[in-house]
């Protein structure tokens, strides 16, 4: 386990987080916070989710983008959560995109962005590292037939988005 720095202890105490709310992911060298703890932080910090909207969904391709608008003390954040076979290996892309959008907004408005990641992001990093370094595993995106570009979106999704579909 990584050394818990004084700054990390301060952040944990400030947000009333316990050992069960966080853990250190060695592969990414970052701390993760559970989604449940994120929701508690949002309540304590009086973060209000103003809008949560599915911006794009293609369940055949296993892809979804959710837009989240949140406010705290007059500060407004608009952020997105995305899920494609390239960055998620669970069969629930809408739910995962929603969690990612919410968690990103909460991290930003609570002043934790950059110091911590949501558990969903950390799982993604571990899975990507496992696939990258394990020659026996296959990439799940091949099940969807369309290779992803540098931006992580399959070409078919990019075309549909540019055509307004």
Q: Which residues of 2-15 are buried (b: 16+ CB within 10 A; e: fewer)?
A: eeeeeebeebbeeb
pTM of the model: 0.69
**In Å, how far from its chain's centre is CA 101?**
7
Q: What's residue 57's pLDDT?
A: 97
pLDDT tens figures, 51-92:
999 999 999 999 999 999 999 999 999 999 999 999 888 899
The band of 159, judged by pLDDT with boundaries at 50, 70 and 90, is low
Using CA atoms, how far residue 37 sits from 33, 43, 135, in Å, is: 6, 10, 35
Residue 3 pLDDT exceeds 80: no
Cα 165 from Cα 151, distance rounded (Å): 19
Range of lowest pLDDT (4-8, 31-35, 124-128): 124-128
pLDDT tens figures, 111-142:
887 666 677 665 544 554 454 444 444 444 33
DSSP state of 90: S
pLDDT tens figures, 8-26:
778 888 888 888 888 887 7
First to last CA, the chain: 46
Dihedral of alpha carbons 45, 42, 50, 107, sign: positive
């Amino acid at each position: 386990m990584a050394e818990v720095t004084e700054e990390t202890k301060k952040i944990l105490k400030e947000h009333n987080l316990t050992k069960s709310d966080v853990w250190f992911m060695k592969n990414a060298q970052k701390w993760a916070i559970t989604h449940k703890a994120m929701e508690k932080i949002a309540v304590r910090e009086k973060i209000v989710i103003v809008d949560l909207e599915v911006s794009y969904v293609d369940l055949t391709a296993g892809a979804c983008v959710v837009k989240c608008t949140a406010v705290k003390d007059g500060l407004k954040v608009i952020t997105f959560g995305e899920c494609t076979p390239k960055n998620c290996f669970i069969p629930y892309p809408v739910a995962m995109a929603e969690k990612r959008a919410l968690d990103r907004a909460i991290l930003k408005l609570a002043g934790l962005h950059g110091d911590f990641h949501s558990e969903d992001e950390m799982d993604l990093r571990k899975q990507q590292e496992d696939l990258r370094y394990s020659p026996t595993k296959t990439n799940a995106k091949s099940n969807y037939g369309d290779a992803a570009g540098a931006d992580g979106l399959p070409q078919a999704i990019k075309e549909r988005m540019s055509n307004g579909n």
